[in-house]
Amino acid sequence: MPARAAPRRQLSLAPRAKDLPLLLVYGFAFGLLNWAAHLWGGPGFFSLWYPAAGLRLAVLWHCGLRLTPWLIVTELVTDCVTGAIPLTGSATLSSVIGAARPGVTCGVALAATGALLRGKAGVLTQPPMPLGLAAIAAPIFNALAVPPLEFLFWKTSSYRSGVDVVISLTGLAVGDVLGILILAPPILWLAGAIDGGTLTKPRLPRGRLLADALPLVASLLLTAALARAGLGVQAAPSLLGGAWIGLRHGRAAAWLAISAQAFVFLTYSASAGSMTAADRLELHIGLAAVVLVTWLAGSFADTQTASQALLDRRNRLLFQAERLKTLRAMSVAVIHEVSQPLSTLAIEAAHLRKLTEGQDTDLAESAALIDRKAQALSEMVRRLRRFGGRDVDEPSLVPLAMLVKTACQIVAAEAGSQGRTVDLAALPPDLVVQVQEIELVQALVNLLRNALAASPQGTASVAAATAGEFVKIIIANPRPVRRTQGAGMGVGLIIARTIVEAHGGTIVRDDDAAETRFVLSLPLSGVLP
Amino acid sequence: MTTEKPVVGVLDDDGDLAATVARLLRRHGLEARPFDSPAALLNDLASCSFGCVISDIQMGEMDGFAFADALRSRDPGVALVFMTAWPTTAHAVDAVRRHGGLDYLEKPIDEQRLLAAVEEGVAWSVRERRIASVTASFTRRERHVFDLLVRGHSNKEIAERLAISARTVEDHRASIVTKTRTNGLAQLVALSRGEP
């Protein structure tokens, strides 16, 4: 199931022509789901599972936050048409505000998740995880927004007691969670498939369906057995089963498990007429926990799989680069080994040919032939060498982290003996620049050497960050108290600047109060997939 | 002034190649001697007047540049030509700029270029030695006067520059002429350029 890395950032809120049919379909679907939800309604809460919330989240996630106001308008229109909002009477305003609240909080939840995770690294920011977090944040925000609104607009609460408030808000959150996690994933999968043109098969463990079905059935049977024994409908067995399935087989399997469990539980809670509202709420809280845990487990497993795949890919690339390097070094060595004896051979062959020139003998013919071949071989070695040399100098795509690490290693080797240290901050691992590797490493080494030499404690630090289409490498050292006469002549910086400028970059000195800082900017060529 | 024919030293840790290049040069009328270690060549410096040395850069015991520095410190009048099987731009620049190499030849060696470089080197060495032998007999002050003289300065200018009287300059000049057995400024200038 495809999911966006983060909600798209859109500045323009104006609707586009192609949004209109989408909003029409949305209004219709919203009305239908809204109606379907009332089957699980109860006193003090609207419904114990609310699929319309899933639809809302999926649409906002896929199409971007700019649609938020338009979805809210569509929902209000639908509510008016279906009569959910009375058009006359004193309740109109409160109904409108109440109906707009979920849309607003859903938008806020998505924006907050995006803002929270933007620019951070770690397993939480890898694709399926943000959606999982947004799916939890949206219902919580929605529920939390109720009391302040009640207080602001109605002064006198419609709830009779604190217990009522808790039941109502919990019911609301639980209903949204169930609705979102059951409906949003398949909608997003479908939307992604339509975008991509083909229906990508979700990652389902082939032939392991049985292995997943067994714990599922077992947990349901255990639940049933516990209920028979008079212990009530307990969610714990399903919790275990769901976590197990999600962790083992990812989101697709998790979603199937969620759907199956939700089907069983919801059917039960809708059909069990004798159930009290409190029992039903308890059951649904349990179900929400099951669904959340299962989904997060599935997302986590998928993220892990994706990270592992990325890691493997990087390892392969590095291995390949390493092998190419070895091959290059080997071919240079071979050229050298060949050129040494060939020098002697070519000179002697030419001499032999000259000695025998003009003689109409077999010997002269042999000598001429040997000389010709030796000259041809010499020419080939020269050509090969030129080719190899250019290859080495040609700009190639190099991971930034590798460049910086190489430079640090070179400097660390000579700095270590003098008790100096370079502090290397964590580098973004996926940035790639198009550079002449050896030259750029030289530029970095020069800057690092300067920083170490100028630092009173013999420490320097390196960090890197992206800035638009550029990557900035910041090399800093603590400022000396008074200017000392360095041992160098300032040539290192000039060389570094020449190299970096030849690559379309810049070196700028950007000191702050405590540190001397040189900022090396290079055009970014891409990001590792 | 030396009258014996300048020797060309060929230094390569691959003895076969050194011998081959030396034979090639001898065929072209040059006095050439092969060496397979820097130490051997440096040992022979005292007994033999080299005009030019062709040296490999990557050698086992002593790298070609270190050898060049050792050679220069003992005899600054020897021309140097480098040859290598591992050509790099950085080395080529170093060879010419820092170590005073006349040329930087890639193996397999281009014969014509080698011969041209060696002939140029020998001629340069001859000039250098000639200038050295002329100026060797000068005092320090005479050397200063000579250097300014051949650059076209008048007696008065030289006196101002060196903060001595014009009369003293004239004395030095007379001494220089006597020592070099020359006749007039034109010959002195020719001497300073190593022309016979």
CATH numbers and ranges of domains, chain B: 7-135 (3.40.50.2300), 140-192 (1.10.10.10)
The DSSP secondary structure of A371-419, one letter per residue, reads HHHHHHHHHHHHHHHHHHHHHHHS-EEEEHHHHHHHHHHHHHHHHHTTT
Task: Provide the shortest C-alpha distance from residue A406 to chain B (in Å).
Answer: 20
Residues on chain B touching A347 (C-beta within 8 angstroms): 20-21, 24, 109, 111
The token pair at B128 is 């250098």
Summarize the confidence of residues A183-187 as an average pLDDT.
Answer: 85
pLDDT of A336: 80
Q: What gap in Å lies between CA A68 and CA A463, rounded to an integer?
A: 38
Range A60-87 average pLDDT: 82
> What integer pLDDT is reported at residue A6 of this predicted model?
41
Q: What is the pLDDT of residues A217-263, one digit of tens each?
A: 888 888 888 888 877 778 888 889 889 988 988 888 888 888 888 88
The pLDDT score that the predictor gives to residue A273 is 63
d(CA A297, CA A241): 11
Q: Helical H runs in chain B? A: 15-27, 38-44, 64-74, 89-97, 111-135, 140-150, 155-162, 166-180, 185-192
CB atoms within 10 A of CB A55: 22
Of B20, B86, B87, nearest to A348 by CB-CB distance is: B20
- Whether residue A347 is predicted with pLDDT greater than 90 in this model: the reply is yes
Examine the pLDDT at A448 and tell me if it is beyond 60: yes
Bridging pattern class, strands B7-11 and B50-56: parallel
**DSSP code, position A15:** -
CB nearest to B108's CB, from A343, A351, A389: A343
Q: CA A242, A245, A249, A251: dihedral to nearest 10 degrees?
A: -10
pLDDT band at residue B53 under the 50/70/90 scheme: very high
- Chain B CB contacts of A391 under 8 Å are none
Neighbours of A386 (CB within 10 A): 12
Average the pLDDT over A322-341 and give the result. 80
Cβ of B107 within 8 Å of Cβ of A351? The answer is no
Interface subset of B 136-195, CB within 8 angstroms of A: none
At A4, is the pLDDT very low, low, confident or very high (cuts 50, 70, 90)?
A: very low
Which pLDDT score, from 0 to 100, does residue A8 have? 43
Q: Is the pLDDT of residue A1 over 50?
A: no
CB contact under 8 A, A385 and B107: no
| Domain boundaries along the sequence of chain A | 1-200, 201-394, 396-527
pLDDT recorded at residue B17? 93
Q: What does the radius of gyration of chain B's CA atoms come to, in whole angstroms?
A: 20
Q: Test A346 with B85 for CB contact under 8 angstroms.
A: no
CB distance A343–B111 less than 8 Å? no
Give the contacts of A171 (CB within 8 A, at least 6 positions apart): A42, A44, A45, A46, A47, A48, A281, A284
Min Cα separation B66/chain A (Å): 21
pLDDT higher than threshold 90 for residue B32: yes
| Cβ contact B20–A341 (<8 Å) | no
Q: Return the beta strands (E) in A186-316 as ranges.
A: none
- A-chain CB neighbours of B18 within 8 Å are none
Chain A to chain B Cβ contacts (< 8 Å): 48
Q: What is the mean pLDDT of residues A41-51?
A: 66
Q: Chain-wide mean pLDDT for chain A?
A: 79
Strand, coil or helix: B103: strand
Nearest-Cα distance to chain A for B63, in Å, is 16
Closest CA to A135 of A30, A60, A75: A60
- The nearest CA of chain B is from the CA of A366 a distance in Å of 20
Q: Which residue from B17, B24, B107 is facing A351, i.e. has the nearest CB?
A: B24
The pLDDT of residue A42 is 59
Q: Is B85 on the interface with A (CB under 8 A)?
A: yes
Residues of A in contact with B14 (CB under 8 A): 340-341, 344
In this complex, is the C-beta atom of B28 within 8 Å of any C-beta atom belonging to chain A? Answer: no
Arithmetic mean of pLDDT, A373-395: 72
- At residue A390, does pLDDT exceed 50? no
What does the pLDDT look like over A74-119, one tens digit per residue?
888 888 887 777 777 667 777 788 788 888 888 888 888 888 877 6
Instruction: Calculate how close chain B gets to A326, using CA atoms only, in Å.
Output: 17
Q: Between A159 and A330, where is the model more confident?
A: A330
Check if the beta carbon of residue B8 is closer than 8 Å to that of residue B53. Answer: yes
Q: Do A347 and B109 touch (CB under 8 A)?
A: yes
**Smallest Cα–Cα separation from A399: which of A525, A253, A223, A496?**
A525
pLDDT at B112: 92
Contact A343 B17 (CB under 8 A): yes
| Cβ-Cβ contacts under 8 Å, A373 against chain B | none
B23 and A CB contact within 8 Å: yes
The answer to whether the Cβ–Cβ distance between B20 and A339 falls below 8 Å is no
Question: Is residue B2's pLDDT more than 60?
Answer: no
CA distance, residue A345 to nearest chain B CA (Å): 9
- Is B115's Cβ below 8 Å from some Cβ in A? no
d(CA A373, CA A366): 11
Q: Which two tokens stand for residue A329?
A: 């070094």
Say if residue A342's pLDDT is above 50.
Answer: yes
Q: How confident is the model at residue A7 (pLDDT cuts 50, 70, 90)?
A: very low
**Which of the two residues, B11 and A233, has the higher pLDDT score?**
B11
Q: Are the C-beta atoms of residues A83 and A35 closer than 8 Å to each other? A: no
Between B8 and A302, whose confidence is greater?
B8
Find how far residue A160's CA is from the centre of its chain.
46
Please indicate whether, in this complex, the C-beta atoms of A351 and B23 are within 8 angstroms of each other: yes
What's the average model confidence in pLDDT over A474-484? 78
pLDDT for the residue A26: 87
Residue of B nearest to A329 (CA): B86
Q: What is the pLDDT of residues A391-420, one digit of tens each?
A: 455 677 888 888 898 888 878 877 777 778
pLDDT at A122: 63
d(CA A202, CA A1): 5
Contacts of A343 in chain B (CB under 8 A): 17, 20, 85, 107-109
Domain A1-200 belongs in CATH node 1.10.3470: no
pLDDT > 70? residue B153: yes
DSSP H or E stretch at residue A195: helix A162-196
Q: How many CB atoms neighbour CB A51 within 10 A?
A: 23
Cα distances (Å, whole numbers) of residue A31 to A6, A38, A175, A375: 28, 11, 16, 87
- Confidence grade of residue A439 (pLDDT, cut at 50, 70, 90): confident
pLDDT for the residue A353: 92
AA identity, residue A169:
L
* CATH code for the structural domain at A396-527: 3.30.565.10
Contact residues, chain A to chain B, C-beta under 8 Å: 332, 335-336, 339-344, 346-348, 350-351, 377-378, 381-382, 385, 389
Class of residue A332 by CB neighbours under 10 A (exposed 0-12, middle 13-18, buried 19+): middle
- A chain contacts of residue B88, beta-carbon cutoff 8 Å: 389
The top-scoring range by mean pLDDT among A193-207, A361-375, A497-511, B86-100 is A361-375
pLDDT at A206: 59
